[in-house]
Amino acid sequence: MQRSREGWHWTPGTGLQAGIPSIAVIEPSQLIQHPKDVFDVIVIGAGYTGLTAARDTSTSGLKTLLLEGRDRIGGRTWSSEIDGYPYEMGGTWVHWFQPHVYRELSRYGMKDQLVHSTDYSKKHNFFTFKTASGDRNMSHEEEDSLFARAVEKFVNVDGNLGRTVMPFPFNAYWNKDVLKYANLSVAERIAQISHDLSSDERHAVEAFVLLCSGGTTENSAFLDFLRWWAAANYDYKTLLDTIIVFKLKCGQSGFAKRFFEEALASGNLSYSFNTPVARIDSSKGLVEIRTKDGQIFLAKKLICTAPLNVLEQIEFNPPLDQAKREAAALKHVNQCVKVHADVKDPEMRSWSGVTYPHNKLVIGVADGTTPAGKTHCVFFGCDANHMHADEDINQTLGAIKEFGPMEIDRLVFHNWSKDEFAKGAWVWYRPGMEVQYLEALRKRQGPVLFANSDWAAGGWRSFIDGAIQSGTEAALTVRQELRPGSRTSRL
Amino acid sequence: MQRSREGWHWTPGTGLQAGIPSIAVIEPSQLIQHPKDVFDVIVIGAGYTGLTAARDTSTSGLKTLLLEGRDRIGGRTWSSEIDGYPYEMGGTWVHWFQPHVYRELSRYGMKDQLVHSTDYSKKHNFFTFKTASGDRNMSHEEEDSLFARAVEKFVNVDGNLGRTVMPFPFNAYWNKDVLKYANLSVAERIAQISHDLSSDERHAVEAFVLLCSGGTTENSAFLDFLRWWAAANYDYKTLLDTIIVFKLKCGQSGFAKRFFEEALASGNLSYSFNTPVARIDSSKGLVEIRTKDGQIFLAKKLICTAPLNVLEQIEFNPPLDQAKREAAALKHVNQCVKVHADVKDPEMRSWSGVTYPHNKLVIGVADGTTPAGKTHCVFFGCDANHMHADEDINQTLGAIKEFGPMEIDRLVFHNWSKDEFAKGAWVWYRPGMEVQYLEALRKRQGPVLFANSDWAAGGWRSFIDGAIQSGTEAALTVRQELRPGSRTSRL
């Protein structure tokens, strides 16, 4: 199998090694038959947004060039298959309540690929809760009840669990009352309800929200969480189901590859990996792209899918508008740390835990059983008490063992904070940032469209769903403007 | 505005008149530039299934011919705008948990078209419950509590509200235990729990399930209801939200027209309305279509979207396989009667009611306020105690007034039972029929594909969502087989 230069792999025998195998790596890495042609559209970035956009434009007859800085597709979502088991480096879980991603799973006949991350049938069937209030284990029923109670207090700004202030998750400002919470941080919201939170509840809600935001309680906006909650039908169980329960047997890269292959089969897709873009010039009639290695490409339209935290690395002429520049300089807060560990004991399959706030990893959860019979666990940290998992592997192993005694046979991870094409994980805004900049981030500049889950207009912004939505919309706009294949005039 | 010959309209002044205005009527009714050409694909039927299929094939460069027996698009879903108000003749409500329909609403930028059918802010804010146990009014909170309790007993076959036997709504037989209920009728399920049902609960659950099935308790399968329930997250409030709360300001035909217009703009769509198909011959290399008026068309592939209850009206050569013929002869049970009434009193806007089992209409609910300030109510009947609303308008008016005193200024409806292209409403199987025939109904026969919400493979079979899903899949299959626009060979 191809290997990506991205990702990290550690075993006791090999030590830490850079690069992991992945079907997301595309070979040959470049296929451009007529590089001097004017393309109908150039898509920058081969994450789900760019893959969807390039698929939809190429299959509708538009000559499309897909440029990607990495050696692989998938952006912040990709999987590595090691010894027959798929490890998800980034985006993982999906659900049929996420319309855009589910429509694609259904369309590609992949619904049977959905598997359950949870299995409570094994011996170590409990939840470890180690906080400033002490250490103990509890049942998963007690865990769910504690977290549901705490999260419900957190979102209950209106006495109706958020339903009144945000009745439409996909149209978050429908009720203008919600704007009262625009500048509220997670820490400030917790302060508002602290009189009503037990110590356990406070640790539970902080750990859970930090798992979602990847930031700190001070720099994470409350509003993003309220939207997730609304999208998940104002229900804790449904929220878990939609964000951390159902993953793909074939790995996310098996899914992403379907988009790429469909685009390729159209015969209208050219592409180049390992090709970061340096400059986008739309000051003349056509859009001119200069890559970092000096290649020049021309197109009628451009769909730029660079995420918020790296948007300022591309030079634009004319420059990005003021609001986009401000948002790109501020950046979102998600510096999620995600580490996979193979744990020797197969009975750990039913385990989960929280260690907070003292530990470098906040949440751990058993996620599968490898073909070798090990328990695959996944651990999450955030910007509060951040670590770079690759810099000190003993610190990383220690953070995992803080959850409890475990014999660790393997680690796999991707350091998203150091990733030059992401500089962070899924979007989570700073207080005030969403309301101030979201519209501006979506705004096109002439022939240049900006598409990314980071500013998707749906309930599932920051999810794979938002990426597909954003790519779908951008492709439709381009198609409507270029009208491919039209052989009769419009009636 | 164009008028369809379909639908009925009654006012005290005009009496009953056939035909109502609709933007779903397409003019000119035929546009075929080269009728002798071999089309890449012919799509039979311009409901959501056929519209989606024709859009996806035509926009990907395939020469597509859309044939429709009616004078309009939309099939079992269409709206009539009368005096500035959209009346939905068939399919009406949608929700963001329905992935295929919501993906399309999002893609067309129509999310802001969603409006709430319910408004509990007016004076007549109560629920009328007239059953064999007597007549009374109750609050909507009491109504919801009664119906939720009754429906939960109905679906609770596993002590876990159905979650255990049907954990995946889109893959209904994932747990084979569910097949124990394959042959169970609604009446039989009610008999199983009758010891635990109050008289109110029994009337409530029967009325509710008959609203869903349009049949009788004896001929309606329990399994269909369990799937709806699972798709709606095993929750009564979510079930209401997904099936009867959110409709489109512009009417369903405003939505359907977007599909048609996108297909037309591709320049690859030919079409002919008022063109029922008599015969489909795929015995030679190409598919030959003969219309009832004697026209012949040829294509490489055919997507037939005729619903189950009219499938046997088309002659196939080679004939439909045995299983399809059996299912088409058996037919599904939904003979839903749906009647819109403008009621003079604007305070009725907050009302709903059930009259069961003595009345010809079972459920009524206020659904909007017309520009003239009338309350628009919608009433549903079913095959139990069936009526043809057009045959005796005094009976129809009487059935409405049985819910309570109302001054009725207008009726609008479509008689789906007499409709030659539907012979019923959305699909609801007989006990045993789904498990026995579903796979067979989906099976293609050579170049002929069968697509319809009646046998869609998702959680929302029988909904608009299932239609779009089915059309999407059929178009993708055809595209993959014909590979339009391919200019390079596959890598």
- Report the 3 state secondary structure along chain A: CCEEEEEEEEECCCEEEEEEECCCECCCCEECCCCCCEEEEEEECCEHHHHHHHHHHHCCCCCEEEECCCCECECCCCEEEECCEEEECCCCCCCCCCHHHHHHHHHCCCHHHEEECCCCCCCCCCEEEEECCEEEEECHHHHHHHHHHHHHHHHCCCCCCCCCCCCCCCCCCCCHHHHHHCCCEHHHHHHHHHHHCCHHHHHHHHHHHHHHHCCCCCCCEHHHHHHHHHHCCCCHHHHHHHHHCEEECCCHHHHHHHHHHHHHHCCCEEEECCCCEEEEECCCCCEEEEECCCCEEEEEEEEECCCHHHHHHCEEECCCCHHHHHHHHHCCCCCCEEEEEEECCHHHHHCEEEEECCCCCCEEEEEEECCCCCEEEEEEECCCCCCCCCCCHHHHHHHHHCCCCCCEEEEEECCCCCCCCCCCCCCCCCCCHHHHHHHHHHCCECCEEECCHHHCCCCCCCCHHHHHHHHHHHHHHHHHHHCCCCCCCCC
Give the C-alpha separation, B363 to B355, whole Å: 6
Contact (CB<8Å) B106/A112? no
In a shared domain, residues A235 and A383: yes
Contact (CB<8Å) B473/A98? no
B490 assigned to some structural domain: no
Contact (CB<8Å) A106/B469? yes
Mean pLDDT confidence for A38-51: 98
In a shared domain, residues A134 and A178: yes
pLDDT of residue B488: 38
Partners of B488 on chain A (C-beta within 8 Å) are 33, 267
B326 assigned to some structural domain: yes
pLDDT of residue A489: 35
Q: Does A490 touch chain B (CB under 8 A)?
A: yes
Question: Which residues of B, range 219-238, sit inside 8 Å of A by Cβ?
Answer: 233, 238
A60 C-beta neighbours (distance < 10 Å), count: 27
Closest Cα partner for B421 from B331, B306, B277?
B306
Q: Does A267 touch chain B (CB under 8 A)?
A: yes
Closest chain B residue to A458 measured between Cα atoms? B106
A491 assigned to some structural domain: no
Distance of residue A105 Cα from the nearest chain B Cα, in angstroms: 10
Give the pLDDT confidence of A67-114 residue by residue, as tens digits.
999 999 999 999 999 999 999 999 999 999 999 999 999 999 999 999
Beta pairing partners, B356: B131
B223 assigned to some structural domain: yes
In a shared domain, residues A200 and A267: no
Contact (CB<8Å) A491/B31? yes
In a shared domain, residues B226 and B351: yes
Q: Is the pLDDT of residue B358 over 50?
A: yes
Mean pLDDT confidence for A235-261: 97
Q: Which two three-digit tokens encode residue A243?
A: 């964000």
Q: Is the pLDDT of residue A390 over 50?
A: yes
- What is the tally of structural domains in chain A? 2
Give the pLDDT confidence of B185-195 residue by residue, as tens digits.
999 999 999 99
In a shared domain, residues A271 and A320: yes
Contact (CB<8Å) A106/B473? yes
In a shared domain, residues B185 and B319: no
- DSSP, collapsed to helix, strand or coil, labels residue B191 as helix
What dihedral do alpha carbons B431, B96, A456, A237 form, nearest 10°? -80
In a shared domain, residues B347 and B232: yes
In a shared domain, residues B157 and B175: yes
In a shared domain, residues B307 and B436: yes
Q: Is the pLDDT of residue A173 over 80?
A: yes
In a shared domain, residues A261 and A367: no
Distance of residue B33 Cα from the nearest chain A Cα, in angstroms: 9
Give the pLDDT confidence of A117-132 residue by residue, as tens digits.
999 999 999 999 999 9
Contact (CB<8Å) B268/A168? no
Question: Which residues of B, range 53-82, sit inside 8 Å of A by Cβ?
Answer: 59-61
**Option in A100, A264, A484 nearest B103 (CB):** A100
The domain in which residue A206 lies consists of: 115-248+337-415
Partners of A61 on chain B (C-beta within 8 Å) are 60-61, 484-485
Q: Does A485 touch chain B (CB under 8 A)?
A: yes
Task: Say which residue the tokens 């026995």 belong to.
Answer: B436
Last residue of one domain, picked from the residues A415, A443, A463: A415
A49 is in an annotated binding site: yes
Give percent of chain A above pLDDT 90: 96
Partners of B60 on chain A (C-beta within 8 Å) are 59-61, 266
Partners of A97 on chain B (C-beta within 8 Å) are 96-97, 99, 233
Q: Is the pLDDT of residue B486 over 60?
A: no
Q: What CATH number has the domain bearing residue B244?
A: 3.90.660.10
The length of chain A in residues reads 491
Average pLDDT, chain B: 96
Give the C-alpha separation, B389 to B10, whole Å: 11
In a shared domain, residues A165 and A242: yes
A423 assigned to some structural domain: no
Prediction pTM value: 0.95
Partners of A487 on chain B (C-beta within 8 Å) are 267-268
Average pLDDT, chain A: 96
In a shared domain, residues B49 and B197: no
Give the C-alpha separation, A225 to A231, whole Å: 10
Grade residue A1 by pLDDT with cuts at 50, 70 and 90: confident
Q: Does B491 touch chain A (CB under 8 A)?
A: yes
Q: How does strand A448-450 pair with strand A296-304? A: parallel
The verdict on whether omega for the bond into residue B318 sits within 30 degrees of 0, i.e. cis, is: yes
A470 assigned to some structural domain: yes
Q: Does A480 touch chain B (CB under 8 A)?
A: yes
Q: Is the pLDDT of residue A247 over 60?
A: yes
Q: Is the pLDDT of residue A486 over 70?
A: no
Q: Does A266 touch chain B (CB under 8 A)?
A: yes
Give the pLDDT confidence of A394-433 residue by residue, as tens digits.
999 999 999 999 999 999 999 999 999 999 999 999 999 9
Give the pLDDT confidence of B391-449 residue by residue, as tens digits.
999 999 999 999 999 999 999 999 999 999 999 999 999 999 999 999 999 999 999 99
Mean pLDDT confidence for B324-345: 98
Partners of A102 on chain B (C-beta within 8 Å) are 99
Distance of residue A56 Cα from the nearest chain B Cα, in angstroms: 9
Partners of B171 on chain A (C-beta within 8 Å) are 111-112, 114
Contact (CB<8Å) A265/B490? yes
Give the pLDDT confidence of B79-114 residue by residue, as tens digits.
999 999 999 999 999 999 999 999 999 999 999 999
Contact (CB<8Å) A469/B106? yes
**Option in A112, A238, A266 nearest B233 (CB):** A238
Last residue of one domain, picked from the residues A364, A383, A415: A415
Grade residue B484 by pLDDT with cuts at 50, 70 and 90: low
Higher pLDDT, B488 or B218: B218
Q: Report how many Cβ contacts below 8 Å link chain A to chain B.
A: 123
Q: Is the pLDDT of residue B240 over 90?
A: yes
Contact (CB<8Å) B266/A486? yes
pLDDT of residue A488: 39
**Option in B169, B480, B487 nearest A267 (CB):** B487
Give the pLDDT confidence of B363-387 residue by residue, as tens digits.
999 999 999 999 999 999 999 999 9
Distance of residue A84 Cα from the nearest chain B Cα, in angstroms: 24
Q: Is the pLDDT of residue A328 over 80?
A: yes
Question: Which residues of A, range 158-217, sit inside 8 Å of B by Cβ?
Answer: 168-171
Partners of A111 on chain B (C-beta within 8 Å) are 170-171, 457-458
Distance of residue A428 Cα from the nearest chain B Cα, in angstroms: 22
Give the pLDDT confidence of B141-178 residue by residue, as tens digits.
999 999 999 999 999 999 999 999 999 999 889 999 99
Grade residue B458 by pLDDT with cuts at 50, 70 and 90: confident
Q: Is the pLDDT of residue A331 over 90?
A: yes
Partners of B170 on chain A (C-beta within 8 Å) are 96, 106, 111
Q: Is the pLDDT of residue B359 over 80?
A: yes
Mutate which of B103, B121, B236 to test chain A, going by most A C-beta atoms within 10 A?
B103
**Option in B59, B112, B266 nearest A171 (CB):** B112
A110 assigned to some structural domain: no
Q: What CATH number has the domain bearing residue A255?
A: 3.50.50.60
Grade residue A322 by pLDDT with cuts at 50, 70 and 90: very high
Mean pLDDT confidence for A31-60: 97
Contact (CB<8Å) B473/A107? yes
A107 assigned to some structural domain: no
The verdict on whether omega for the bond into residue B276 sits within 30 degrees of 0, i.e. cis, is: no
**Option in A98, A265, A487 nearest B483 (CB):** A265
Mean pLDDT confidence for A184-195: 98
Closest Cα partner for A89 from A252, A242, A213, A211?
A252
Mean pLDDT confidence for A140-164: 98
Q: Is the pLDDT of residue B489 over 90?
A: no
Give the C-alpha separation, B45 to B421, whole Å: 9
